[in-house]
Amino acid sequence: MSGKSTVYIAAFMLSVLLPYPASAQITHHHDVTPPPRPQEEVLQKINFYKWKSRDVIAAFKAHGLEVAEVEGGFVIGAVAAAESTIFLMPSHGNGTGGVVSGYESEDKLREALRYYTSLNIDPGSPAWRIYRRDNILLLISGRVPEEKAREYERVMMGL
């Protein structure tokens, strides 16, 4: 008897002895198809998405920077971030603060960066002070002095 027919007889015997449904098949290990690999786009998102906005906010707090009324949010006008957190800096004026946004791809982050940069018409008094690290875009109101905004940038860059 050949090895192949022995396998078929063994499979038949098992199908009779074991409570498998009639449709179940016993396959050889070389007949098994490996699971599909993630699509390239999914892999890029996984590799690009390094930080969450809450990670950055937690670092600000840990370094004693002013962060009040933290809440999740979204920003109208720019390309949508995967997630964002809005924070206030009351010592710089009512409603003054910033937004930390995490992006899923380099393309989306670049598009948002272009949008926010286009709002900075007056370099002497920008709408936003804009900082970037990996997948994170940090926007701080232009009403906050640059030296103060740079403290937030330094903490974010130290993650």
Q: What is the mean pLDDT of the chain?
A: 81
Q: How far apart are the first and last CA of the chain?
A: 67
DSSP state of 121: -
Question: Tokens for 112?
Answer: 């948002």
With a pLDDT cut of 90, the percent of the chain lying above it is: 57
Our measurement of the distance from residue 20's CA atom to the centroid of its chain's CA atoms, rounded to an integer in Å, reads: 44
Could you tell me how far CA 81 lies from the centroid of its own chain?
A: 9
Between 54 and 38, where is the model more confident? 54
- For residue 73, pLDDT beyond 90: no
- pTM, 2 dp: 0.69
Domain residues of the chain, as ranges? 3-33, 44-157
The amino acid present at 144, given as its one-letter code, is V
Q: How confident is the model at residue 14 (pLDDT cuts 50, 70, 90)?
A: very low
Residues 67 and 89: their CA atoms lie apart, in Å, by 6
Is 44-157 assigned to CATH 2.60.120?
no
pLDDT for the residue numbered 109: 94
